[in-house]
Amino acid sequence: MTPTKILIIDDDRDLCGELSDILAAEGYAVSIAFDGVTGKALADRQDYDILLLDLRLPGMSGLDILRSIGSARGRRAVLVISGSPLDSSLPKQERDDTASEIRCLADRLIPKPFDVEELLEVVREFSRR
């Protein structure tokens, strides 16, 4: 049986390293991208089962990645992991619309900081699908 393939797209290198180690120890095949452009390219080229996607990324935002993969993602699950998913300088209506869009496009929103065990449970849930 092939392991579940996970792509982490996040510019926090320490977090990516820790998550990668934890997920690999659980038997997952993990790739990492530290910016949106690289992450989008990897997501387009490979069949990942799960994307762990931050929204605030250099090069290309996580929201833009989420929009671009949209309905074409097939059975791939997208778990948005973000500390501040919405720009507080945006007008309230635009923030509400963006939050709604994220909820529609992502399979789950996991706010940072998160409990690693809770994240693992969510990953396990989506890897069984």
Give me the tens of pLDDT residue by residue for the chain, a chain 129 residues long: 789 999 999 999 999 999 999 999 999 999 999 999 999 999 999 989 999 999 989 999 999 999 888 655 566 899 999 876 555 555 676 666 777 788 888 899 898 889 999 999 999 999 987
Closest listed residue to residue 69, CA positions, set 57, 83, 56, 53? 53
Backbone angles phi, psi at 109, to 5 degrees: -110, 120
Q: Domains (ranges, CATH) in the chain?
A: 5-127 (3.40.50.2300)
State both tokens at 110: 């996991």
Q: Is 59 left (phi over 0), alpha (psi -120 to 50) or beta?
A: left
Helices (H) and strands (E) in the chain, counts: 5, 5
